[in-house]
């Protein structure tokens, strides 16, 4: 595996691959890699000739500077994991490399990017679109892989790809969970052991709510999940929304959409650590 930090070197490597008609898969990450990322990398390796994994903590998507400063950075360990997994290239540029000038582009895909995370983290999805579009332009992948834990992010990226008519297939990959049910996240490393035990309640409550939803309305289910988690000392629900999984618009009746997903954000512990998760209540096909 090659670790590349400059655009010129990346370009040289990928131009050679493209000249040989080798397909390129991209897994964009912010590092602190875990088994969830590795599941994306494994799928990319299985489906493409060349797998590029970008490792870049993108400052423009953080609306909270403390969050950016605290974000875990573990480049050496990440590269060791990627080497073992069989990735072709780890692309780990500096902030100056990706943003030699401030990025003034503005991306707006309402309603996908205005609800849930969009309304709580102003500028977040604009920053995500800035970096992901740059990566797409540099790598020119045939396919790009994203985890469904960031459910809304996938919808926003799909909207951007459609808007810019980019020739890349967006591959959504299932959430990977610990045996406890906790969704894998780079932010989990910020949790103490006690907080980790608290956090397990998030996935447990979401899972239980699928049974509850069989005999209760959307608003009752929403309240049930929110109240159950808020009743636990150390957890605070920021939002729990039950939405049409295609449009991300809140639904009021289970029959409002063929694909229904519950999306949650919970503050965990004293610092606190902001955790997100989601559950599918109804799935098409
Ligand atoms: O999901 C993430 O880790 C980031 O939002 C992404 C897609 C790598 C862009 O920085």
- pLDDT, tens digit only, all 285 positions of the chain: 999 999 999 999 999 999 999 999 999 999 999 999 999 999 999 999 999 999 999 999 999 999 899 899 999 999 999 999 999 999 999 999 999 999 999 999 999 999 999 999 999 999 999 999 999 999 999 999 999 999 999 999 999 999 999 999 999 999 999 999 999 999 999 999 999 999 999 999 999 999 999 999 999 999 999 999 999 999 999 999 999 999 999 999 999 999 999 999 999 999 899 999 999 999 975
CA 221 to chain centre: 25
What is the spatial distance between Cα 6 and Cα 17, in angstroms, rounded to a whole number? Answer: 17
Rg value, the chain, Cα: 19
Q: How far is the CA of 30 from the centre of ligand 1 (A)?
A: 6
Cβ of residue 53 lying under 6 Å from some atom of ligand 1: no
Cβ of residue 152 lying under 6 Å from some atom of ligand 1: no
Q: Nearest residue CA, atom 8 of ligand 1?
A: 29
The conformation of residue 241, written as its DSSP 8-state character, comes to: E
Q: How far is the CA of 121 from the centre of ligand 1 (A)?
A: 14
Look up the pTM and report it. Answer: 0.96
Residue 86's region, left for phi above 0, alpha for psi from -120 to 50, else beta, is left
Q: How far is the CA of 215 from the centre of ligand 1 (A)?
A: 37
Q: Provide the pLDDT for residue 271.
A: 87
Cβ of residue 30 lying under 6 Å from some atom of ligand 1: yes
């Amino acid at each position: 595996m090659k670790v590349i930090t400059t655009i010129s070197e990346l370009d040289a490597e990928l131009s050679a691959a493209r000249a040989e008609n080798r397909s390129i898969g991209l897994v964009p990450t912010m590092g602190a890699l875990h088994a969830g990322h590795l599941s994306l990398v494994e799928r990319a390796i299985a489906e493409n000739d060349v797998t590029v994994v970008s490792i870049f903590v993108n400052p423009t998507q953080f609306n909270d500077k403390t969050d950016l400063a605290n974000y875990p950075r573990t480049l050496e360990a990440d590269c060791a994991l990627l080497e073992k997994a069989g990735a072709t290239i780890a692309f780990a540029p500096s902030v100056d490399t990706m943003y030699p000038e401030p990025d003034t582009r503005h991306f707006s895909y309402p309603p996908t990017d205005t609800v849930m995370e969009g309304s709580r983290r102003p500028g977040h999805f604009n920053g995500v679109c800035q970096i992901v579009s740059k990566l797409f332009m540099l790598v020119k992948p045939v396919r790009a892989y994203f985890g469904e834990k960031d459910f809304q992010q996938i919808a926003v990226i799909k909207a951007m790809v459609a808007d810019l008519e980019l020739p890349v297939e967006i591959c959504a990959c299932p959430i990977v969970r610990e045996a406890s049910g906790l969704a894998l996240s780079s932010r989990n490393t910020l949790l103490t052991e006690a907080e980790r035990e608290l956090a397990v309640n998030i996935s447990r409550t979401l899972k239980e709510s699928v049974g509850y939803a069989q005999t209760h309305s959307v608003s009752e289910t929403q309240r049930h999940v929110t109240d159950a988690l808020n009743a636990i000392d150390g957890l605070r629900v920021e939002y729990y929304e039950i939405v049409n999984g295609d449009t991300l618009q809140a639904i009021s009746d289970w029959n409002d959409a063929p694909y229904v997903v519950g999306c949650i954000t919970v503050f965990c512990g004293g610092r606190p650590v902001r955790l997100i998760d989601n559950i599918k209540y109804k799935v098409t096909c």
